[in-house]
Structure 1
Amino acid sequence: MEELVLKEDDLIDVVVEDTEMPKEDTRWMALARVHTEKTYSQYWFYRNMRVAWDLAQEVKIRPLEDNLYSMQFSCLGDWERVMGDGPWNFKGKAVVLLEYAGFTKPSTIELNKLDVWIQIHDLPDGFFSKVKALSATVGEFIYVEPRFPDFEGNFARVRIRIDVTKPLKNVVSLVIKKKDSVQRVIFRVKYERLPDWCPVCGHLGHQHKECGDGVHAPKALVFKDIKDTWFKGPGSGPDESSNIGRGRGRGRAGRGRGRSSNSADSFDDQ
């Protein structure tokens, strides 16, 4: 009100009761943006994301302002797949999605969180109970995939929520306190289906040749090996409050190398 120089007497309020809010009209909605400062074609964004999501029914995508969209899906299956099987990317850039109830000003909502699978490598079984605490140093913990008998891989697989405005973490550390000594153990962190990131600064949204003047010594690429080379199927893991997706920890080494189905690069952009 202050910036509009309004007084209380200038306003004539319309009162809305909670029971009057048409929740059925706003179900299966989301807000979205592409994590990039570059310009891009909305047409190809719409077309490529529809292909990448492999939708059963139509999705209504409405541009709200520059690089901000509202989306409404037509069925529960499409909604669960898109919201649970990320991260998604468009031309290599992360597509940030957030569930939207439809009753908050879209411009006031921060879209900076991305759900991803990480792998904590070479973690001894005896420390598996510390996975939640370790992953919480990388992002907001969501779910850890249990180590079933058919799980293959020398790592713990964890679903977390990261802040795309902050640099990625490439390691986690554990301090072991013994009676006569203190030992720090460092474990490598890798990310599954990671969108474009900078091996120099660790931020999403650009590559190292776009960071600063683009000229960097090899030793400066400290974040270069954080993308996993062992592709995992999509899924957010079992969750008590939702049936969105199921994590999968099976596969063979080397399977799925190359472009994943979560990449919306099916067509040439123009």
Structure 2
Amino acid sequence: MRKVWRLVKSVKFRDLNAEFTLVEFEDSRDRAKVVREGPWSFDKHLVLLKEFDSLIQISKLELVKAPFWVRIHDLPLIARNEYIGKLVGSALGEVLEVDLDKGEMELEEYMRVRVMLDISKPFLRWKRLNVGKGASCWVNFSYERLPDLCFFCGVLGHTLKDCEFTDPEKLDPTKLPYGQWLRASFLST
């Protein structure tokens, strides 16, 4: 992870048990960068990060939320603003940020919203949006840096072949409710 995170100063990894590792950053800016640029994955598995609380017992520690940049596609021009970004993003989870300067409108193909998602639940694929004067439309979502996701149940942590809710041998792969289209393509820099 040190190489992937491209840190300026050193970092220490200490195993707390078989599931959890404590990460100690020498520089608070490195820590902020790692938190800000996530989510991260290792070996196609999501790396969940949480601020350390020394009062909590390790056996009581739960990690079910992760921040993701979500792209909102097919928004009408009138709805490509910070207010709508927050409104639509709140249907997914806690909105952390809308990738727009205050008062700006998004004129690109999609709007980006950073949302804290509950990864124990199926990911949302689309949402109906009322845009005014009785008009409504469907907006689609794609997720940046999305690790392994089951294309049948929409939950992270396993793939279709390991899903407990279905037999992959009996499924038509063209009729799955989720697919590669949920993975956002890489941003060009």
What's the TM-score once normalised by structure 2's chain length? 0.86
| C-alpha distance in 1 between matches for 2:140 and 2:35 | 27
Q: Distance in 2 between matches of 1:176 and 1:142?
A: 23
Higher relative CO (Cα under 8 Å, sequence separation at least 6) belongs to 1
Q: For 1:10-53, what per-residue CA distance to the aligned partner results, in whole angstroms no more than 9, with x for missing partners?
A: xxxxxxxxxxxxxxxxxxxxxxxxxxxxxxxxxxxxxxx12211
Is 1:66 equivalent to 2:21 in the alignment?
Answer: no
CA distance in 2, matches of 1:58, 1:201: 39
Structure 2 gap segments, 5+ residues each:
none
CA RMSD of aligned residues (A): 2.3
Gaps in structure 1 of 5+ consecutive residues: 1-48, 233-250, 256-270
Cross-structure match for 1:188? 140
1:168-187 aligned at under 5 Å gives the runs 168-176=123-131, 178=133, 182-187=134-139
TM-score for both structures, normalised by structure 1: 0.62
2:63: which partner in 1? 111
Q: Give the 3-state SS of the residue equivalent to 2:142 in structure 1.
A: strand
Pairing 1:195-234 to 2, within 5 Å after superposition: 195-211=147-163, 212-215=166-169, 216-224=171-179, 225-229=181-185, 231-232=186-187
Local SS of the residue matching 1:132: helix
Equivalent residue, structure 2, for 1:57: 9
Sequence identity percentage:
32
**1:56/1:177 Cα in 2 relative to 1: closer, same or farther (>3 Å)?**
closer
Whether the 8 Å contact between 1:62 and 1:69 is mirrored in structure 2 is yes
1:142 to 86, 96, 99: 96
Give the paired residue count.
182
How far, CA to CA, are the matches of 1:71 and 1:141 in structure 2?
25
Q: Distance in 2 between matches of 1:222 and 1:89?
A: 24
Match of 1:154 in 2: 109
**Paired amino acid for 1:131:** G
Aligned counterparts of 2:101 and 2:174: Cα–Cα separation in 1: 35
